Amino acid sequence: MFYCCPLQTVGNCGNITKTNKETKTMRDLPTTKEIKESITDCNTWHRRFFRCWIDGSYLGAGHYHDNCDRVRRDYGNDRALRALAISSFCAFVAHEEDCSPRTVQRHLVREVSRDDLEALNVELVDDLRDLVRDEMEVA
């Protein structure tokens, strides 16, 4: 055993295959192939459940309202929305995989090309804008 994430004992972050009372089960972190698919297909598991994450389906209405407020505030600011998209996606995957957002971010930077990460960021920003697009484009 070693410590993969702060205050959490796991066998091998992202690659646990055996379970017992001492280890926690977690799926593998996203592969390069899964990220590439998520760029072109908004119905991949990661994209669909990311949208559930940002719409409050995981953490409740307060999380949804906080996300909407942040997206409304920064709707025209690509840089701020990119930062929100990255932090939200890493938090979502970390929640699913039972590790830290930092572990997710390091994994993605190590495993996925910069161009693919930037293309994913564009799609995630669009998912965030979808939360409030109707009200923002009417205004």
pLDDT in tens, 53-76: 999 999 999 999 999 999 999 999
How many domains are contained in the chain? Answer: 1
6 within a domain of the structure (yes/no): no
pLDDT in tens, 86-133: 999 999 999 999 999 999 999 999 999 999 999 999 999 999 999 999
Give one DSSP letter per residue of 22-81, joined into a string. TS---PPPPPHHHHHHHHH-TTSHHHHHHHHHHTTTTT-HHHHHHHHHHHHHTTT-HHHH
132 within a domain of the structure (yes/no): yes
- Dist CA 82 CA 116 (whole Å): 14
64 within a domain of the structure (yes/no): yes
Give the structural domain span for 132.
Answer: 29-138
Say if residues 50 and 92 touch (Cβ distance below 8 Å).
yes
